[in-house]
Chains A and B, each alone.
Chain A
Amino acid sequence: MASNKHTIVALVADRPGVLNRMASLFRRRGFNIDSIAVGHSETPHLSRMTIVAEGSDTQVEQIRKQVEKIVDVIRVQDISGLNIVSRELALIKVKSTPETRSEIMQIVDIFRAKIVDVSADSVMVEATGDEEKVDSLYNLLKPFGVKEISRTGRIAMARGDQGNRRDENEG
């Protein structure tokens, strides 16, 4: 993973337009979002967002502080420096023939991915893992002919209690 990629996790109120506010802030401040993933959190009416963005530490610190100012954002943390688990989900539709199918299945097995659909001339693979794993799998499947790929973007969580740290009154 490139050192200037940051993983920011935000707990946000589950209100219409929150994603727009977040995306708008990144755009306004000139930050590129690599990926953004949102879903329900453990608390009703709160969602958790994982944002992957590129920038220097100072830039990302600034963006974190700006994100924190959004009224609908309850908490935000840059977890890049922590020991984290990060995953993304990908669905990959690969061309297959009776001749290539078993080879594809072998590759899928090695990556502990799954075949979730089979048709006459293609198979659909479901893969979970960090970006590198999904990238590697994709690269190996490419020669067979990838018809379609859909990736979720990263979701991440710090291991143990690290994620619960709150930044006190500092700059």
Chain B
Amino acid sequence: MKLTGAQILCESLLKEGVDTIFGYPGGQVLPLYHTLTQYPKLRHILVRHEQGAVHAADAYARVTGRVGVCFATSGPGATNLITGLANAYIDSVPMVAVTGQVPRAMIGRDAFQEADITGITIPITKHNYLVMDIGDLARTVKEAFYIAGTGRPGPVLIDLPRDIQQEATEFHYPARVNLPGYKPTLAGNPLQVKKAAKLLAEAKKPVLIAGHGVRISGAYHELKHLAETLQLPVITTLLGISAFPESHELSFGMMGMHGSAYANMAITGCDLIIAVGMRFDDRATGKIAAFAPHARVIHIDIDPAEIGKNVKVDVPIVGDVKTVLVELNKEISAKRHDEWLAQIRDWKRQYPSGFEIRESDSILPQYVIRKIWEVTKGDATVVTGVGQHQMFAAQHFFYDKPNSFITSGGLGTMGFELPAAFGAQTGLPGQTVWCIAGDGSFQMTVQELGTIRQENAPVKVAVINNGYLGMVRQWQELFYERNYSATPLWCPDFVRISEAYSIPAECVTKKTEVVPAINRAMAAQGPYIINFVVEPEENVYPMVPPGAGIDQILHEPRKEAS
């Protein structure tokens, strides 16, 4: 029996185990949307903007470990995916985006709503396809899912002309892919693994840095075994948060620009780094020339191009983090570093700033985050936007649950939080998802409240409202003589906005009301929004100034309680 292109796409998605699609219809995907109703197993969720679809698919993929899927129409629909594709690309999130395209005969003629989306997305997708022959469609979908979900994951875009959606042919879904140019290395080179074990055995002051790769690979157990056996202090990158339980005695928090002082000092003072599934981003390393000056470096990553890209590496190991750690764990034997750990703990006692909340009559943003952690007992998935609230959420919620911190790391996409929280909630029905939003970030995608309402997703939203674009204002305060150019931000009444979307909401201005409000949000059956009006000029500390070494730490100036 012959199937149309739209049917072939739907059948292929079912073969890939897809059950959820985030999307937005339009002229050039009408045949696909027409067909979608014949496939009740494919739950399509209508977002309010294509950017919402791509961020939702992104977070859905991050929490489930599956490939996230989104649909958009041609032209403006497709270009509205750009930010989300770039976000998923830099954070290595598996995703397949399907866009409609004008009919083949009209391609290249500047037809209505035509955009060269494959051309546009070359640098921000792992791979992309323009399907010009219906005979290629099933194979293309198979390849797209394989490429998106294997190796270093990433987004793959399939551009589908409207006439191909309508044309019909026999459907044969290929059993396997044949991509001679794409062969991710999974197992580490045994010699390199042995070399790494030897360096670890010799090191006096080693540090383990855990990155996003640990979470992507699901290597929590293997990482813990390695850290405990060798008594390695574990420090995470921003995206590595929730790769290792923060209540563990070997956990020393996050490194980098807003990392803990003691984590950064440990890295600066160590003699060996074992970097696991991380990419030495400048926000993590600070000035490269001053980064870990005494350390040899073991780097485990599935992407060979990440090794030696930013930091010189002594022992490179290309492979899947989990597979490599299993091998490495066979090569090591128990060791202690009491003196070194005591030194880091001493730094932790000396420089706890930023992780202590000082007294204040007004609401401090850190206080809100800490209370959400206390009320939920840490049993929540936290999704953030980008800015001060993101860093407070990284610092003041303690993540013990694997893979429970979802944030836009590499691209720093404001507006990520609301659609991503919705996507995460879709992937984790019945679990608590807290969206920590900034008042600026929240307003970039606030229309997704409509999606949350329509789907009745029980997302709890905490808007950390300081009336500023907080992180930019902080930089202006510290590095631009307090010239608050374009950072004071008028906000609408978020409670009334929420009410307009039929979502219960409240505004909290008193410290004593913070916990009761969080409790009310938790007790609510569906979504709930709290607008926390916080201290307007609170800053994120500790902070490493841009361009400085990570040991050049600005601590919070001691403020007297008034």
| Interface residues, chain A, with chain B CB atoms under 8 Å away | 12-13, 16-17, 20-21, 24-25, 28, 58, 61-62, 65-66, 68-75, 168-171
Contact = CB atoms under 8 A, between A and B. Distances in A.
* Best-surrounded residue of B180, B189, B303 (most CB of chain A within 10 A): B180
Contacts of A61: 308
10 contacts: A21-B122, A25-B123, A28-B123, A62-B309, A65-B304, A66-B305, A73-B181, A75-B181, A169-B318, A171-B308
Nearest to A28: B123
B279 interface: no
Nearest to B123: A28
A20 B316 CA distance: 31
A71 B178 CA distance: 11
Interface in B201-232: none
Nearest to B119: A20
B251 interface: no
B147 interface: yes
B319 interface: yes
B313 A171 contact: yes
B182 interface: yes
B188 A169 contact: yes
B486 interface: no
Given A24-B122, A24-B123, A171-B299, A69 B189 contact: no
Interface of B: 118-119, 122-123, 126-127, 130, 147, 179-182, 185, 188-189, 192, 299, 303-305, 307-309, 313, 316, 318-319
Nearest to A73: B181
Contacts of A13: 180-181
Contact of B122 (A20, A68, A73): A20
B189 A168 contact: yes
Nearest to A69: B305
Leading 5 A-B pairs by shortest Cβ distance: A171-B316, A65-B305, A169-B189, A171-B307, A74-B181
Contacts of B313: 171
Given A28-B123, A71-B147, A169-B192, 16 more contacts: A12-B181, A17-B118, A17-B119, A17-B122, A20-B119, A24-B122, A25-B123, A61-B308, A68-B305, A69-B305, A71-B181, A71-B182, A169-B318, A170-B318, A171-B299, A171-B304
A14 to B, nearest CB: 12
Contacts of A25: 123
B308 A62 contact: yes
A160 B23 CA distance: 54
Contacts of B308: 58, 61-62, 171
A20 to B, nearest CB: 7
A12 B182 CA distance: 11
Contact of A71 (B123, B179, B192, B303): B179
Contacts of B307: 171
Contacts of B182: 71
A17 B123 CA distance: 13
A62 B305 contact: yes
Nearest to B314: A171
B189 to A, nearest CB: 4
Nearest to A167: B304
Contacts of A68: 304-305
Nearest to B190: A169
Nearest to A25: B123
A170 B305 contact: no
Contacts of A71: 126-127, 147, 179, 181-182
A75 B179 CA distance: 12
A65 B318 CA distance: 12
Contacts of B147: 71
B507 to A, nearest CB: 45
B324 to A, nearest CB: 11
Given A17-B118, A170-B189, A69 B309 contact: no
Contacts of A12: 181
Contact of A170 (B122, B181, B303, B316): B316
A74 B316 contact: no
A66 B303 CA distance: 9
B482 to A, nearest CB: 35
Contacts of B318: 169-171
A153 to B, nearest CB: 22
Given A62-B309, A69-B305, A169 B179 contact: no
A169 B181 contact: no
Contacts of A73: 181
Contacts of A170: 189, 192, 316, 318
A66 B122 CA distance: 13
Contacts of A16: 130
A33 B147 CA distance: 28
Contacts of A17: 118-119, 122, 130
A70 B147 CA distance: 11
B195 to A, nearest CB: 12
Contacts of B126: 71
A62 B305 CA distance: 6
Nearest to A43: B180
A21 B185 CA distance: 22
Nearest to A27: B123
A74 B192 CA distance: 25
Nearest to B191: A169
Nearest to A61: B308
Nearest to B304: A65
Contacts of A20: 119, 122
Contacts of A62: 305, 308-309
* Best-surrounded residue of B127, B188, B305 (most CB of chain A within 10 A): B305
Contact of A169 (B123, B185, B305): B185
Nearest to B310: A62
A36 B318 CA distance: 30
A72 B305 contact: no
Contacts of B123: 24-25, 28
A69 B118 CA distance: 17
A169 B122 contact: no
